[in-house]
A and B are shown apart, each in its own frame.
Chain A
Amino acid sequence: MFDDRSPIYQQIADKIKNDVLSGELPADAQVMSTNQYAAFYRINPATAAKAFRQLIDEGVLYKKRGIGMFVSGEARPVLLAQRRERFFREVVDVMLAEARVLGISLDDVVRHIETGRGTQK
């Protein structure tokens, strides 16, 4: 279930963030409880709770006492801004480094993107 690359709670937090970004979890939607997450992924509830603590600290989720946890209104715009910044560093820069190794010119890359965009729409 988990790829071992980062702590499990981190992976759960990332998954919830992805769901918020994709719109699957809209603002004020309720997320599954700690125990539901623990049973679903077969993990210790303390691990799941750590993920939720982190998401609450980051302002992605908020808690309604006795009811559950919900997606906060500003979660999506904040996450989008963070991801956009990461996109160039972690996706584009990495791709360009690979292109350099392979001897693909920047022009070729740009041309590919432009023609690709044409076919996508």
Chain B
Amino acid sequence: MTYSIEARDLRLDYRGSPALRGLDFRLAGGGIYGLIGRNGSGKTSLLSLVASLMKPTSGTLLVDGEDPFENPRTMPDVCLVQDRVKDSGDEMWKVGGYLRTAAALRPHWDQEYADRLVDLFELPQRKRLSSLSLGKRSALNIVIGLASRAPVTIFDEAYVGLDAPSRYAFYDEVLSDYMAHPRTVIMSSHLVEEVDSLFEEVLILDEGRLLAHEDTDDLRSRGVSLTGPTRAVDDLRPGLTVLNEQVLGGTTSITVYGDLDEDTLSHARAAGVEAGPVRLQDLFVHLTRKDRR
């Protein structure tokens, strides 16, 4: 079961300042979507609206075609995993009881899968949440997200505190469980490099605005680094958005964003300019740099 998610001029003011400044996008559903942005860019605000923890200030948000806020049909089907235990009242729960509560709230819960994940992440069933390390808490929340099989499953920086082997175990589970049980998965992250190959589409948020929403490969192919003799590189500049520039002696390297046609590229190569790829992580860093705002 997969749900679409749609936003139209979606705005949210949070504690007196604008957190989301008019978002428009549509996720068809049934994919793994990446939401990337710097701290404070509005990722958590947006995801909280989808999970109906808050109500938009204005604009429209639709989950499976309906307003999700206090919506008894969609709410159990949207599972938001965050990097923290939501409520300090949860601290006294034992891991086992916490999982049983989650199971009772989620109509698509798979207990067998939950048990397997508890083993995988070595979660101590009898311990209280208050005695768990940060990494084990994250793992517990991740288990809930995965085993919920919720038609909309959201991991908001869910990996915080996990060591690298556990993070990769998490990524592998997201991928294999998504393939076995297709649903709408949203992952927010700023560790772009580790996860970008999982994303079918990427949304980049910056200061409450949607900077880009594209097929991951298309977005990646828009970034090109051009390195060569300064004069030859300068000849290429007109019409290109230059994100970054480095000069070393007579050699200049620029990172550009946009569609470079094959003709321009082969001219560039003939003039001694080398065209190289830009990693999504670098593209993200350059696109959201402070001095570009």
The interface of chain A, by Cβ under 8 A from chain B, is: 1-2, 4-9, 35, 38-39, 41-47, 50
Contact = CB atoms under 8 A, between A and B. Distances in A.
Interface in B267-284: 276-277, 279
A43 B176 contact: no
9 A-B pairs with least C-beta separation: A43-B197, A7-B217, A46-B200, A4-B277, A44-B200, A35-B179, A5-B277, A4-B279, A44-B198
Interface of B: 31-32, 168, 171-172, 175-176, 179, 197-200, 216-217, 220-221, 276-277, 279
A46 B200 CA distance: 7
A1 B32 CA distance: 20
A46 B277 CA distance: 21
Contacts, number: 45
Contacts of A6: 277
Given A46-B31, A47-B200, A39 B176 contact: yes
Contacts of B31: 44, 46
Q: Is the interface of B mostly helix, strand, loop or mixed?
A: helix
Given A6-B277, A8-B217, 15 more contacts: A2-B197, A4-B279, A38-B179, A39-B179, A42-B171, A42-B172, A42-B198, A44-B31, A44-B32, A44-B197, A44-B199, A44-B200, A44-B216, A47-B197, A50-B217
B110 to A, nearest CB: 19
A7 B200 contact: no
B175 A38 contact: yes
B220 A7 contact: yes
Contact of A42 (B175, B200, B276): B175
B176 A7 contact: no
B217 A45 contact: no
B193 to A, nearest CB: 10
30 contacts: A2-B197, A4-B277, A5-B276, A6-B277, A7-B217, A7-B221, A8-B197, A9-B217, A38-B175, A38-B179, A39-B172, A39-B175, A39-B176, A39-B179, A41-B197, A42-B168, A42-B171, A42-B198, A43-B197, A43-B198, A44-B32, A44-B175, A44-B198, A44-B216, A45-B179, A46-B31, A47-B197, A47-B200, A47-B217, A50-B217
